[in-house]
């Protein structure tokens, strides 16, 4: 089998985009592709759906043709308002291209689909070792079914439900470092949260108040849910947490646990090089200026902790969890809010 990348240019209303994924794309993939694939949502100047498949030359022709047919039919039934392009992407193409590194790429045209054979999935960002990228691909595929279950469950649900699911996913991930005994996993989420809150933005005060109000409202429920997760999802199911969220988070926890062990193995088998150490030191100097928490956490006294294989494997796990969120239609603001709920629950 070979790997293929199908990209769908889909700059339409958010509601229509999610509806297409839930009611058209996922049912087709479940029936006709079944496994060895995963999809996510990203931006290639305009919003796109990226579908990656391990399949044969013959089957990809059928898959590509059917998705094109399904997409065309879906678009033909949309209202003019639903298919209207978001002007933000039209007006900011140059900036989006520069920020996302697309200056040398030909962006996909809106409402079109393209398919190409690829040797490997291009992954930007920081990875400890080349094998980490292979582990990511493997677990995106392994986690596709639970991801689809989460997407379908969240369809047309309110923000409270979204936050409860995100909280459970983050809490389950944080426990992977806790189990090693070297530190508390939630502190990584705290670092990212405080990094966000340190930005100088006119609406930051509104965000802080909104996050605090939501925590006050949900504190008792989240505390019970956190304890339930720490007890290996055993005991009385917390009130106000739907059974579907329990099931989804339980499945994610199982995947996180297996993935973390593979990331640890990669750390054991690969020596940390000098360039990595220099990069880590530069990052820590930058982080120390963000807040008093960062100043203490990233002090020279703690530098050996961040080099530990357990932490480096955990860092890669947290990044993987964040990369699941775009496919679920969850934006960075919800990620930060869920981090706030996690941190305050742990420190209450």
Which of 116, 3, 119, 108 has its CA nearest to residue 54? 3
In a domain, 123, yes or no: no
Average pLDDT of the segment spanning 305-332: 93
- Identify the pLDDT of residue 104: 44
- Identify the pLDDT of residue 109: 93
| Enclosing domain of residue 271 | 130-347
pLDDT in tens, 140-178: 999 999 999 999 999 999 999 999 999 999 999 999 999
Q: Which of 94, 118, 142 is the last residue of a domain?
A: 118
Residues 99 and 213 in one domain: no
Q: Which of 83, 118, 153 is the last residue of a domain?
A: 118
Residue 197 has pLDDT above 60, yes or no: yes
Average pLDDT, the chain: 89
In a domain, 44, yes or no: yes
Residues 186 and 223 in one domain: yes
Residues 52 and 198 in one domain: no
Residues 220 and 288 in one domain: yes
Q: How confident is the model at residue 285 (pLDDT cuts 50, 70, 90)?
A: low
CA–CA separation, 230 and 260 (whole Å): 17
Is pLDDT larger for residue 348 or for residue 275? 348
Q: How confident is the model at residue 276 (pLDDT cuts 50, 70, 90)?
A: low
In a domain, 221, yes or no: yes
In a domain, 124, yes or no: no
Average pLDDT of the segment spanning 17-44: 96
Residues 104 and 192 in one domain: no
The beta-carbon contacts of 188-192 under 8 Å, at least 24 apart in sequence, are: 188/314, 188/315, 188/318, 189/318, 189/339, 189/342, 189/343, 190/293, 190/339, 190/343, 191/287, 191/293, 191/294, 191/297, 192/336, 192/339
As for how many domains the chain has, the answer is 2
- Identify the pLDDT of residue 97: 55
Residues 304 and 165 in one domain: yes
Is residue 174 within 8 Å of residue 184, measured between CB atoms? Answer: yes
Residues 161 and 205 in one domain: yes
């Amino acid at each position: 089998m070979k790997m293929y990348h199908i990209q769908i240019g889909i700059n339409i209303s958010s509601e229509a985009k999610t509806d297409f994924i839930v009611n058209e794309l996922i049912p087709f993939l479940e029936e006709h592709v079944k496994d060895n694939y995963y999809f996510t949502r990203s931006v290639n100047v305009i919003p796109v759906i990226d579908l990656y498949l391990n399949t044969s030359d013959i089957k990809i022709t059928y898959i590509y043709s059917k998705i094109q047919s399904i997409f065309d039919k879906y678009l033909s039934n949309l209202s003019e308002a639903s298919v209207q392009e978001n002007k933000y992407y039209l007006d900011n193409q140059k900036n989006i291209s520069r920020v996302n590194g697309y200056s040398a790429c030909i962006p996909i045209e809106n409402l079109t689909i393209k398919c190409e054979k690829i040797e490997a999935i291009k992954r930007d960002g920081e990875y400890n070792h080349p094998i980490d990228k292979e582990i990511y691909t493997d677990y995106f595929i392994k986690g596709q079914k639970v991801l689809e279950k989460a997407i379908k469950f969240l369809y047309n649900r309110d923000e409270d439900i979204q936050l409860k699911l995100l909280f459970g996913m983050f809490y389950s991930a944080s426990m992977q470092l806790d189990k090693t005994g070297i530190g508390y996993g939630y502190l990584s989420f705290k670092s990212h949260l405080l990094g966000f809150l340190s930005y100088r933005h006119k609406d930051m005060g509104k965000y802080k108040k909104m996050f605090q109000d939501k925590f006050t409202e949900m504190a008792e429920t989240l505390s019970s849910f956190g304890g339930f997760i720490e007890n290996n999802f055993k005991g009385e199911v917390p009130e106000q947490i739907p059974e579907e969220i329990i099931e989804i988070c339980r499945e994610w926890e199982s995947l996180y646990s297996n993935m973390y062990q593979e990331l640890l193995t990669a750390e054991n088998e690969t020596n940390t090089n000098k360039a990595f150490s220099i990069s880590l030191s530069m990052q820590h100097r930058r982080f120390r200026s963000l807040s008093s928490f960062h100043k203490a956490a990233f002090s020279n006294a703690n530098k050996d902790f961040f080099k530990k294989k357990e932490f480096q494997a955990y860092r890669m796990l947290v990044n993987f969890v964040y990369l699941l969120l775009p496919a679920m239609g969850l934006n960075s603001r919800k990620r930060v809010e869920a981090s706030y709920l996690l941190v305050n629950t742990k420190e209450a």
